[in-house]
Amino acid sequence: MVYALGLLSVAVLISGSRGPGARTRPPTPGNGVHLFALIALFCLATVLFIVVDAYTMIAGIIIATTLFWYLRQTHAAAQRTKQSLQLASFLSLCAGNLRAGVTMVDAMDYALDNTTPDKFLSPTLQTAARQARSGGSGPRVLIDASLPDLQRLGHLWETSERHGIPLVALIDQMRSRISSKQRHGESTRAALQGPQATAVILTVLPLAGLLMGTAMGANPLGLLTGGGIGGLLLVIGVGLDAAGFVVTHKILQSASPS
C-alpha cells in the first residue's frame, strides 16, 4: 500500500497544486478526466502491489506518472491554442464595431453574442463589460484575470482610457500579434513532427529489444520482473527512458511558441 500511496502523491503533485498565495485559476475541462485518472491509477497501483514485486511496482509508477504528465501537457497546449483562436475572433469583431463608432462595452457585448462561448474567456469578458457598464473598472477585471491574453487586453484598455489612445488601433495590433503567433506556431509544429516521431521511437525502442529477445528464446521479462538485480535494472532503465522522454518533450515544447 505504500507504493500505491506514493503513486497517488506523485500524480497529485503533477496535477499542479496551488499554494496559499497562488492566483486563482479557472477550472479546466480536463479536471474531471484528471480526477478519474488519479482514481484509476490508485486502484491499479493497489492491484499491482498485491500481484508484482516492489521493483516492478516502482517501474509502473514511473511509467504511469510520465504518461499522465504527457497527456496533461498535451491537453493544456491544445486548450491554449483554442483560447487564442477564439480571442482573436473576439478582438476582430470588437475592432470592427469600434471603427463604426460604438463604445467598447457595446462592442464587447456584440462580439460575445457572435462568437462561440468559452468557459475560460466568456465569463471574464462578460464580467468586465458588465463592470464597465455599471461605472466600474472593466480593464481592472481583465488585468486581474489568470489568462495572459486577457491581462494584456486589460492593460491596453486601461492605457487607452488613461492616455486617450484610440483603442481600435491597440486591439488591431493585439489581434495581429495573436494571429501571427498562431501561424508561426503551426509552421513550427509541422517542422517538429519529424523530431517528435523520432523521440517516440527512441522511447519505445527498449520494448522492441525485449520483444526481440523473447522471440530469440531468452526470457528478459522474467529477469526484469523477477526482483533482485533484474528488478533494479528495470527501475533504472525505465527511469532513464522516462527522463529522456520528458527532457526531449521539454526541448521540443520550448521550440514551439505556446
> How confident is the model over 179-210, as pLDDT tens digits?
888 888 888 888 888 888 888 888 888 888 88
- Contact partners, residue 152, CB within 8 Å, separation at least 6: 174
How many of the other CB atoms lie within 10 Å of CB of 119? Answer: 10
Per-residue pLDDT of 78-91, as tens digits, reads 888 888 888 888 99
* Cα distance between residue 154 and residue 143, in whole Å: 5
The answer to whether the predicted template modeling score (pTM) of the entire model surpasses 0.85 is no
Q: What confidence category does residue 45 fall into, taking pLDDT thresholds of 50, 70 and 90?
A: low
Residue 253: all three cell numbers together: 515544447
* Cα distance between residue 3 and residue 21, in whole Å: 31
Selection from 4-8, 203-207, 239-243 with the highest mean pLDDT: 239-243
Q: What confidence category does residue 223 fall into, taking pLDDT thresholds of 50, 70 and 90?
A: confident
Q: What confidence category does residue 115 fall into, taking pLDDT thresholds of 50, 70 and 90?
A: confident
Among 87, 116, 65, residue whose Cα is nearest residue 177: 87
